[in-house]
Copies of this chain bind each other. A is one copy, B any other.
Amino acid sequence: MGRRRSVSAGEPLIWEDDDSLLVANVIEGVLKLTTSTADGREQIVGVAYPSDFIGRPFGQTSAASVVALTDARVCVFARNDFDRFAREHPELEHKLLERTLAELDRTRAWMMLLGRKSAPEKIATFLLDMSERLADNGCMTHTGPARHFTLPFSRQQVADLLGLTIETVSRQFTKLKADGVVALPSRRDVEILDRAMLETLAG
């Protein structure tokens, strides 16, 4: 059970306020979870990496849209089937509970960033977070924080993640580059030159 499905970059998987018809496991790639206002402002409320679970079991509607950031492969299940199966398999529910609790912790840490951090702090925190996240998911050969990585986000998506505008994100990146804290070999590539400084800036 569970159908494999490929999703190419930019393609949606679940719509906000959809009847929550499916859940999925990420096999490969990175996806964003977003909520939007009526007038088009967007906030990224979560990012799903390989092995992460997406969708909303035991609920009528999903609170967020899911869109692939990179080409991705996922394993999708009809929500009804999944719900039934989960209730019969406590080990699965336990695993899901642990993951959901961990996700809630991460989300709460991100609320601190959104509500109380300045633009420079947001950017520094973001880069450190990415260097850890991308190291843990087969995107890197060695473990531990990565010195160099390729962002799965465009500048606009970084802005939507941090609650900033694209211009502010761009300016902060430029500043970090000018100060020799990071190198930016291409639009999506980041090399951390001075991790200690980034950690100071992150607050």
Write the residues of chain A forming the contact surface with B, with a CB cutoff of 8 angstroms: 33, 35, 37-39, 41-43, 45-46, 56-59, 63-64, 87, 90, 93-94, 96-98, 100-105, 107-112, 114-117, 160, 162-163, 203
Contacts and interface: CB of A to CB of B under 8 A. Distances in A.
A203 B103 contact: no
B58 A108 contact: no
A63 B109 contact: yes
Nearest to A37: B203
Contact of A97 (B58, B103, B110): B58
Given A103-B104, A108-B35, A203-B37, A116 B43 contact: yes
Contacts of A87: 94
A115 B164 CA distance: 7
30 contacts: A33-B108, A35-B112, A37-B112, A37-B117, A38-B203, A39-B203, A43-B111, A45-B108, A45-B112, A46-B108, A58-B97, A58-B98, A58-B101, A59-B101, A59-B102, A63-B105, A63-B108, A63-B109, A64-B108, A87-B94, A90-B90, A93-B97, A96-B97, A100-B100, A100-B104, A103-B104, A110-B111, A111-B111, A114-B114, A115-B162
A56 B100 CA distance: 11
Contacts of A97: 58, 93, 96-97, 100
Nearest to A45: B108
Contacts of A46: 108
A47 to B, nearest CB: 12
Nearest to A94: B93
Which 8 A-B pairs rank lowest in CB-CB distance, beginning with the nearest?
A115-B163, A90-B90, A114-B114, A45-B108, A63-B105, A43-B112, A43-B115, A41-B116
